[in-house]
Structure 1
Amino acid sequence: MEIGNLKSLVDLSLSTNQLSGSIPPALGDLTNLTSLYLYSNYLSSTIPMEIGNLKSLVNLDMSLNQLYGSIPTTLGDLMNLTTLHLYSNNLSSTIPMEIGNLKSLVDLDLSFNQLSGSILLTLGNLTNLTDLYLNSNNLSGTIPTTLSDLHNLKFLYLRDNQLSGSIPPTLGNIQKLIELELDTNQFSGYLPHNICRAGSLRKFTADTNHLIGPIPKSLKTCTSLFRVRLDKNQLTGNISEDFGVYPSLNFIDLSNNQLYGEISPNWGLCPKLTSLRIAGNKLTGSIPAEISTATQIQELDLSSNHLVGMIPKEFGSLTSLVKLMMDGNQLSGGVPSEFKSLADLEYLDLSANKFNDSIPSFVGDFLKLSYLNLSNNKFSQAIPFQLGKLIHLSKLDLSFNTLEGQIPLDISNMQSLEILNISHNNLSGFIPTSFEDMRWLSYVDISYNDLEGPLPNNKAFQFAPREALLGNKGLCGNARFLQACNISNDHILGFLITFPLLRALALALALVFLFAFLAKRKKKDQHMNQKNMHKEILFSVINFDGKSMYEEIVRATKDFDSMYCIGNGGHGSVYIASLSSNNIVAVKKLHPLCNDENNIQNEFLNEIRALTEIRHRNIVKLYGFCSHKRHSLLVYEYLERGRLATMLSKDDEVKEFGWRKRVNIVKGVAHALCYMHHDCLPLIVHRDISSKNILLDSKYEASVSDFGTAKFLNPDSANWTAHAGTYGYVAPGNLVVFCSFSFRPFYGLSY
């Protein structure tokens, strides 16, 4: 029976099924319908104009589908409509003016689409609205002041758009407002001074904009606040005076502004606080011990300020702490012994301070740690062997201290360790051979110590850059830049272990050998540095001579002139180069920043490791890499259509970007992920899949790129990983749909 024959039907609910295809125009014949629910399906079509015939309709929900095209203007004829949900589709064009006619509307949700244009002035006519969600679109222009007329409004979400101009001060007149999200736009000017005049605001986010000026006075007495994000702006003011006590506050982020003053002890009077972030400001003074009374804190970020003094020993009572960041201050003294109670720590960064004394052995009891950075301090004595118990640690940085003694054998127990930096210390002795078993180690820096002897037979050591090995007194091995170890040295070491009485003789012989080797090496290095400084090129290219290929790339791009630049990212720029062999390649040139050079080097090595060990038609091909005094380069196959994100941002290209092409792209990405997750050894987790890291060729075939943050998983042990790279809002419902669609249909396929 045709659905259009059900003339008496009042309520039609087909939600949460697996319906696909188009919405039949015959639905418009069901003129007695009061509720139509089609959400959570796979419907892919435009919304038929005939929907406007359903004059009795009160509730209409078509969310969580794949609908595209414009919102039909005939929806403006549904004068009885109280609920209109079209979120999480692919609807485009502007919001039709006719929506402003729906005077009975209470709940309007158009979020997570591709709507453009400005916010309608006529939305101010919908005086019954309590919920207005326009977030995660491409809306531009300013916030119309008419929205201030929506006196019943409780939820206003405008985040993740391209809105600009100032935030209307009159928004503070909406006294019933509970949640206001304005973040991730281009807003400038000041925050409304009376934004919480009625005292009902629970959630307020205005981060990632260009806001200036003081914190609104009304926020200090807004005791209803639950979640606040004002980070990544240029807000000013005295932090100790601008905030009060909040009984319900759970999360607050004030990072990366221009706030000054001292940290208020009042934060300790927020009993439900779990996250306190005030990094990247101009805070001074000491850390108040009173913060420790907020015992629910899980994340405390006080980094990149001007704080002084010691860490309060009372912080040992913050037993819920998972992430603690105090790096980039002027803190001194030692790590309090009371810290041993912080058993749930997963992330600890105390780098770039003035901490001294020894590294406490109880740090080895933080068994959940995945990140430990104590670099750029004044820690002395030996590295505690207890650190070897941190089997989930992926990064350990102890560089730029005055640590001494040998590298503990127990460090090799860190089977999840990927990055190890112990450079610029006073460590001595041999590198434990047990490091050869650390299969996931991808980057090491042992430079500027007093280490000697052979390097472990481990990729991280064997392929370490020269800078990561410099400044030691007698390293040898198969790695580049090092002299091969003499076989007789191995015999000497054997005698040293087996026959204690011969130790003195063995040591004397070893010293003679080392002094002769160092003198010869020093003389050779001086000569080579003077003669060949400009030739310090490391290049590996399939079927090409490295030096000539480097010189040809420089010529082809006219020394990386901007006219050949086809893309920019946080860590580098991409250039197109036409080679004499008629090959066209894409060249990523890294541009390290002083404060991020280690991360860039790590990602450079990670990219090389990943792309030289895997082959798949939906993973970008790496032709070669270069480490040069002037440049670090990665040479890839050139894909004509570039990044998916760029294509989606251009209206003229999106119009030609049909569903067949889109599904093909999703399939390609899914094939690549399935290959990495199931067919690689070791398994690879990309950790930054986004439209910015998906490249398209001329036929819209997708290739996954940018493996700088990828993680290699150990199939024989527990693994833990975290989100890396591109952050954004991820709706739980969308995540489930994506995962089930991406993987299950493609198991068993071979490429």
Structure 2
Amino acid sequence: MGFAEKNSYDLRFLLFISIILSCSISASATIAEANALLKWKSTFTNLSRSSKLSSWVNDANTNTSFSCTSWYGVSCNSRGSLEKLNLTDNAIEGTFQDFPFSSLPNLAYIDFSMNRFSGTIPPQFGNLSKLIYFDLSTNHLTREIPPELGNLQNLKTLYLSNNKLAGSIPSSLGKLKNLTVLYLHHNYLTRVIPPELGNMESMTDLSLDNNKLTGSIPSSLGNLKNLTVLYLHQNYLTGDIPPELGNMESMTDLALSENKLTGSIPSSLGNLKNLTDVYLYQNYLTGVIPPELGNMESMTKLELRNNKLAGSIPSSFGNLKNLTVLYLDQNYLTGDIPLELGNIESMTDLALSQNKLTGSIPSSLGNLKNLTVLYLHQNYLTGVIPPELGNMESMTDLSLSQNKLTSSIPSSLGNLKNLMVLYLYQNYLTGVIPPELGKMESMIGLDLSKNKLTGSIPSSLGNLKNLTVLYLYQNNLTGDIPPELGNMESMTDLELSQNKLNGSIPSSLGNLKDLTVLYLDQNYLTGVIPPELGNMESMISLDLSENKLTDSIPDSFCNFTKLESLFLRDNQLSGQIPLGVTNSSELTAFIIDRNNFNGFLPETLCKGGNLQIITLDDNHLEGPIPKSLRDCESLIRARFIGNRFIGDISEAFGVYPNLNFIDLSRNKFHGEISGNWEKSRKLGALIMSNNNITGAIPPEIWIMKQLGELDLSTNNLSGEVPEAIGNLTNLSRLRLNGNQLSGRVPAGISFLTNLESLDLSSNRFSSQIAQTFDSFLKLHDMNLSINNFDGHIPGLTKLTQLTHLDLSHNQLDGEIPSQLSSLQSLDKLDLSHNNLSGLIPTTFEGMKALMYVDISNNKLEGPLPDIPAFRNATADALEGNRGLCSNIPKQRLNSCPITSGGFQKPKKNGNLVVWILVPILGALVILSICAGAFTYYIRKRKPHNGRNTDSETGENMSIFSVDGKFKYQDIMESTNEFDPIYLIGIGGYSKVYKANLQDATVAVKRLNDTIDKEISKPVVKQEFLNEVRALTEIRHRNVVKLFGFCSHRRHTFLINEYMENGSLNKLLANDEEAKRLTWTKRINIVKGVAHALSYMHHDRSTPIVHRDISSGNILLDNDYTAKISDFGTAKLLKTDSSNWSAVAGTYGYVAPEFAYTMKVTEKCDVYSFGVLILEVIKGKHPGDLVASLSSSPGETLSLRSISDERIPEPRGQNREKLMKMVEVALSFFDEGLNDKVVVFKYKPKKKYRRNIGHRQPNTRIRITGITGYEEYPAAPNVAV
């Protein structure tokens, strides 16, 4: 063998040995990897024999004990070493604590997703240096992400999403230069996004959403040029959106929604030409929407809703031809809807709702044939609904509600065959409901409520077989309810309330087996309640109240086993309540007040223990209270008023832990009050008046600190009131009148500092009226009359809010304290039937609010104070005193002797008076002479301030009440010689201009030529000037001040006080302004006019009749205080004079009697005032209503039917006040003017001892400051 051969042999031998050794090492490594995996598998807690991992077993027939191809989820490399583990979605329960990291050095692919691995991610995963794909998503992993994962330099994909990982994102991940996908979403990661993530240049998908990340978005993310998807939504990120994001040119999906981002949207985002989906909604973004977003031609979805974006919608959005979804709702966007949006033919969803958009709905939107959703609700859109919207054949959801849309509903909407939801509610839509809407067979929800729709309900709506909700309430719909509505078998909620529907309730409604809510209240429905309604066994809430339904409740109502609320109030129903009508264990509200029901209450009223509200007022129910009510602990509010319930009141009621109001008044309960009421710890109002309750008030009542109202009046209670009454510190109304309570009023009452109304009258209280009453700083009315109080009247100086004070029918003596004059809010004072003596304090002349006084049957003397309350007092209110005097004949008192010093006092003081008065009068005479001389000297030196000289014309005549404060030239300059730009109003005889003078803003009323010529006549001129002089002297807060008058050769004008809010009729005609006129403001407007008329008619020596009381002549200042204007045509009249030859006044306000009698008296203003009251309530001139009331005075009138629908329904005290206002107004139309009795102040009621004060026949209603009244009129009826 040669050398060459030998070498060749050696090489072959070495190669053979190398191959043998390599195989041996590979086999050894494979065996080790297999054993390591089997050891890890043994830690899993839930594997069964059927598990896919059952293939992981030792093979006894091979030396290697392992085959990559036979083990599930395992792949090996070319050398047989384990390279890939894919155990996804196997429900494995285990941890990674025993994972064989060191035994698997060649692992490049790991997918353990969608299992149940728990515990932490071990940092040893960072040692698997060959790892390219790593997925632990959708497990139960906790704690922090190990920073060691940043060592995996070959890693391209990392999924850790959908776990419970916490802590911060490691900044070390920024070292993964090859990473393309990083998904960490749906964890509990906190703190900031590391800026180092911006170093991952290969990144294409980054998802960190649904965590708790804070801080700002790093601007370094803008370096990720290859990024296509960035999901950061649903975190707590703050700060601005970095403009650098506009550098990511490959971006297709950007989601930053549901964070706390602020600032504006960067215009740089417009550079992202490949962007298809942008989600920025639900942040705090401000500023305008950048027009540059219209450059993103690939855009398909843009959601910017629920931010604070302002400005207009960019018209450039019309360039987004691929856009399918545009959500801009819930922002502050203004301006018009761009016409260009109609160019986006691919659009399927458009939501612009809940913004401040104005203008009309573009008809171009009708071009969007693919549009399925259009939300424009809650904006300020005006105009008509474009008929072109009927072209959008794919439409499923259309919501235009809560705007200011007008005109009628287009019949073309009936073409939308796929429409499922149509919401047009709360607009100003008029006309009829198009019958074509009955063609929309896919409709499931139709809401046309709160509009001004008229006509009848189309019977075609009965074709809508899939309709579940139909809302037509708060319109002006008339006619019958179509029986065809009973065909809508899918209906669950039908609400037709607050319309003018008449006729009977169709029995076909009983076919609606799935109906849960039926509201037909506040209509004019008549007839009986159909028994077929009882077939609606799914009924939960039924409201038929405020109609004219008759007969009884059908027995079929017993089928309502799921009923929660039943409202039948304000009808004409009668008969007994069916025993089973309250069988439902779910019943929470039972409201049947103001009907004619009789008989006993059903025993099952609170069968299920869920009843919360029961209202039974003003029926004829009788008998005892059912046991189920006595034990009904769920009760919150209960009203039993005005029935014939009997029983011992101490046993009829139980303990109610949730009760806050109960009224048992006007029944026939007897017995003593139970102390158990104290256990109803939430009770705020306890009212038991007008029963036959006897005994003492139990001590437990006086520890009910939560009570706000306690009314035990008109019973037969006896005993004394204890000091413990001071515990009731929350009490605002206390009425114990009409009992037999005796003793002293306890000093503890002084702790009731929240008291607003106190009535202890008609009892047997004695002793003096304590000074402790002075602690009631919030008290409005106090009645201590018909008791045995004696001693002096305390000063009561701190009761600054007191409006009514009645101390009559006691044994009070001494003088009337002058301190009472400090009660500046007092408008009614009754001190009659006492033993008061002396003079009436002169300080009473400062009591400007006092409207009614009764001081009869005392021992008073001297003159009456010179204020309206005393000047207008009747003889009845002054009689029975021994020394009062008056120079007013109707008061039937001795005339007051007049001296130069005033009232002549008794002679014993005469010398003192003379010695005091003579020097004073002498000084006054000297001062008067000096003043006259000085005035004469001044006038000789310069013209009188009341006269101004015009350099152009040379003469003018003027009268001013402010010493020449306004000059002719100033008026001319400030109005630019009556330039039309300063014109603010035009009347029948003048034009009104606004003049901004140096010291004031005034209204200048320039009279027209006809009036000017009439005034220039010598006979008329002097009369007119005398009238103007008188009018400039008027000082009243509810009368527009006339500053003066100027007659010039070129112009004649009056100068009036300027009223910022203009006339009432203009405000009522403007929907926005009318909404600002709340019920409280409207009530105050009527009160103001009443006070002004009272002043003009009664408080001046010569009455003034306005003769044109109308909403156009009621002006409002900046605080909406009402003032009567336009006295240009008023005359200073004597009563019953008739010196006009033509009918005056505004059409619709003039009394019919005046039109043919031509007799002008104060009663002309009264009729007009009645019209005005109804106009203020209705929001527009009552017109036909007045005519119908005049012709049918007995007609029942619902307050709701005449209330302005533009403002919320009146509640509480406002509702009561409006009721009384309507009563007053209606009384002005029900009889002839000559017979009408109208007194604009309190009319004294006769005082009687207990059990005598019956109502007197033929009484008339009195206006008592509009907030209250004493007698009800006989003819008109008003229902609430």
Provide the TM-score with structure 1 as the length reference.
Answer: 0.71
Measure the CA separation in 2 of the matches of 1:216 and 1:49.
45
Aligned partner of 1:486 in structure 2 is 897
Measure the CA separation in 1 of the matches of 2:769 and 2:1218.
33
Aligned partner of 2:802 in structure 1 is 393
Aligned partner of 1:37 in structure 2 is 447
* Counterpart residue identity of residue 92, structure 1: N
Aligned partner of 1:123 in structure 2 is 533
1:113 matched to 2:523: yes
Closer/same/farther in 2, CA of residues 440 and 115 from structure 1, 3 Å limit: same
Give the alignment of 1:656-675 within 5 angstroms. Answer: none
Measure the CA separation in 1 of the matches of 2:881 and 2:434.
75
Give the C-alpha shift of residue 22 in structure 1: 1.9
Aligned partner of 1:320 in structure 2 is 730
Give the alignment of 1:231-242 within 5 angstroms. Answer: 231-242=641-652
Closer/same/farther in 2, CA of residues 91 and 725 from structure 1, 3 Å limit: farther
Give the C-alpha shift of residue 619 in structure 1: 6.8
Closer/same/farther in 2, CA of residues 705 and 38 from structure 1, 3 Å limit: farther
Aligned partner of 2:475 in structure 1 is 65
* Counterpart residue identity of residue 783, structure 2: N
Closer/same/farther in 2, CA of residues 502 and 495 from structure 1, 3 Å limit: farther
Measure the CA separation in 2 of the matches of 1:75 and 1:692.
42
Percent identity, please. Answer: 42
Residues 345-402 of structure 1, C-alpha deviation per residue, up to 9 Å, x if partnerless?
Answer: 11100000010111121212212211110000011111111x2332222211100111
Measure the CA separation in 1 of the matches of 2:832 and 2:436.
72
Aligned partner of 1:674 in structure 2 is none
Give the C-alpha shift of residue 194 in structure 1: 2.9
Measure the CA separation in 2 of the matches of 1:59 and 1:380.
68
Aligned partner of 1:337 in structure 2 is 747
Choose from 335, 344, 355 the match for 2:765: 355
Give the C-alpha shift of residue 452 in structure 1: 0.5
* Counterpart residue identity of residue 105, structure 1: L
Give the C-alpha shift of residue 490 in structure 1: 2.8
* Larger CA Rg, structure 1 vs 2: 2
Aligned partner of 2:605 in structure 1 is 195
Query: Helix, strand or coil for the counterpart of 1:404?
Result: strand
Give the C-alpha shift of residue 434 in structure 1: 2.2
Aligned partner of 2:874 in structure 1 is 465
Closer/same/farther in 2, CA of residues 273 and 410 from structure 1, 3 Å limit: same
Give the C-alpha shift of residue 464 in structure 1: 1.7
Measure the CA separation in 1 of the matches of 2:675 and 2:906.
59
1:132 matched to 2:549: no
Aligned partner of 1:747 in structure 2 is none
- Contact 1:688-1:724 at 8 Å conserved across structures: no
Choose from 680, 685, 690 the match for 1:280: 690
Query: Helix, strand or coil for the counterpart of 1:357?
Result: strand
Aligned partner of 1:737 in structure 2 is none
Measure the CA separation in 2 of the matches of 1:121 and 1:61.
24
- Contact 1:115-1:138 at 8 Å conserved across structures: yes
Closer/same/farther in 2, CA of residues 494 and 245 from structure 1, 3 Å limit: farther
* Counterpart residue identity of residue 785, structure 2: S
Give the C-alpha shift of residue 197 in structure 1: 2.5
Query: Helix, strand or coil for the counterpart of 2:650?
Result: helix
Aligned partner of 1:155 in structure 2 is 565
- Contact 2:488-2:512 at 8 Å conserved across structures: yes
Give the alignment of 1:161-180 within 5 angstroms. Answer: 161-180=571-590
Aligned partner of 2:286 in structure 1 is none
Give the alignment of 1:167-316 within 5 angstroms. Answer: 167-316=577-726
Residues 558-583 of structure 1, C-alpha deviation per residue, up to 9 Å, x if partnerless?
Answer: xxxxxxxxxxxxxxxxxxxxxxxxxx
Closer/same/farther in 2, CA of residues 647 and 179 from structure 1, 3 Å limit: same
- Contact 1:644-1:694 at 8 Å conserved across structures: no
Query: Helix, strand or coil for the counterpart of 2:460?
Result: helix
Give the C-alpha shift of residue 115 in structure 1: 0.7
Aligned partner of 2:820 in structure 1 is 411
Give the C-alpha shift of residue 312 in structure 1: 2.6
Give the alignment of 1:678-693 within 5 angstroms. Answer: 688-690=1220-1222, 693=1225
Q: Which range is displaced more, 494-503 or 268-277?
A: 494-503
Give the C-alpha shift of residue 116 in structure 1: 0.8
**What stretches of structure 1 of length at least 5 have no aligned partner?**
504-604, 625-632, 655-661, 671-684, 699-703, 714-720, 731-751
- Contact 1:207-1:231 at 8 Å conserved across structures: yes
Give the alignment of 1:342-741 within 5 angstroms. Answer: 342-385=752-795, 387-479=796-888, 480-488=891-899, 490=903, 492=905, 496=909, 499=912, 609=1094, 612=1097, 615=1107, 616=1109, 642=1189, 646=1193, 648-649=1195-1196, 688-690=1220-1222, 693-694=1225-1226, 708=1261, 710-712=1263-1265
Query: Helix, strand or coil for the counterpart of 1:52?
Result: helix
- Contact 1:693-1:705 at 8 Å conserved across structures: no
Measure the CA separation in 1 of the matches of 2:571 and 2:1095.
35
Aligned partner of 1:19 in structure 2 is 429
* Counterpart residue identity of residue 896, structure 2: C
Give the C-alpha shift of residue 101 in structure 1: 0.8
Residues 658-680 of structure 1, C-alpha deviation per residue, up to 9 Å, x if partnerless?
Answer: xxxx99x989xx9xxxxxxxxxx
Closer/same/farther in 2, CA of residues 283 and 691 from structure 1, 3 Å limit: closer
Residues 628-669 of structure 1, C-alpha deviation per residue, up to 9 Å, x if partnerless?
Answer: xxxxx999989985458856559xxx9xxxxxxx99x989xx
- Contact 2:600-2:623 at 8 Å conserved across structures: yes
Matched pairs, number: 581
Give the C-alpha shift of residue 693 in structure 1: 4.2
Closer/same/farther in 2, CA of residues 431 and 294 from structure 1, 3 Å limit: same
Closer/same/farther in 2, CA of residues 500 and 688 from structure 1, 3 Å limit: same
* Counterpart residue identity of residue 840, structure 2: I
Measure the CA separation in 2 of the matches of 1:705 and 1:44.
39
Query: Helix, strand or coil for the counterpart of 1:91?
Result: coil
- Contact 2:560-2:581 at 8 Å conserved across structures: no
- Contact 2:636-2:659 at 8 Å conserved across structures: yes
Give the C-alpha shift of residue 609 in structure 1: 4.7
- Contact 2:794-2:817 at 8 Å conserved across structures: yes
Give the C-alpha shift of residue 202 in structure 1: 1.0
Closer/same/farther in 2, CA of residues 290 and 193 from structure 1, 3 Å limit: same
Aligned partner of 2:94 in structure 1 is none
- Contact 1:622-1:635 at 8 Å conserved across structures: no
- Contact 2:814-2:836 at 8 Å conserved across structures: yes
Aligned partner of 1:594 in structure 2 is none
Choose from 510, 525, 532 the match for 1:100: 510
Measure the CA separation in 1 of the matches of 2:849 and 2:1192.
32
Give the C-alpha shift of residue 144 in structure 1: 0.8
Closer/same/farther in 2, CA of residues 351 and 66 from structure 1, 3 Å limit: same
Query: Helix, strand or coil for the counterpart of 2:836?
Result: strand
- Contact 1:94-1:118 at 8 Å conserved across structures: yes
Give the C-alpha shift of residue 610 in structure 1: 8.2
Residues 88-122 of structure 1, C-alpha deviation per residue, up to 9 Å, x if partnerless?
Answer: 11111110111111111111111111111111100
Query: Helix, strand or coil for the counterpart of 1:694?
Result: helix
Query: Helix, strand or coil for the counterpart of 2:903?
Result: helix
Measure the CA separation in 2 of the matches of 1:634 and 1:352.
41
Measure the CA separation in 2 of the matches of 1:84 and 1:692.
37
Measure the CA separation in 2 of the matches of 1:33 and 1:219.
44
- Contact 2:423-2:448 at 8 Å conserved across structures: yes
Query: Helix, strand or coil for the counterpart of 1:314?
Result: helix
Measure the CA separation in 2 of the matches of 1:185 and 1:292.
36
- Contact 2:1219-2:1278 at 8 Å conserved across structures: no
Give the C-alpha shift of residue 69 in structure 1: 1.2
Choose from 404, 414, 426 the match for 1:4: 414
* Counterpart residue identity of residue 802, structure 2: L
Measure the CA separation in 2 of the matches of 1:299 and 1:42.
41
Residues 257-303 of structure 1, C-alpha deviation per residue, up to 9 Å, x if partnerless?
Answer: 11100011111111111111100001111011211332221111100
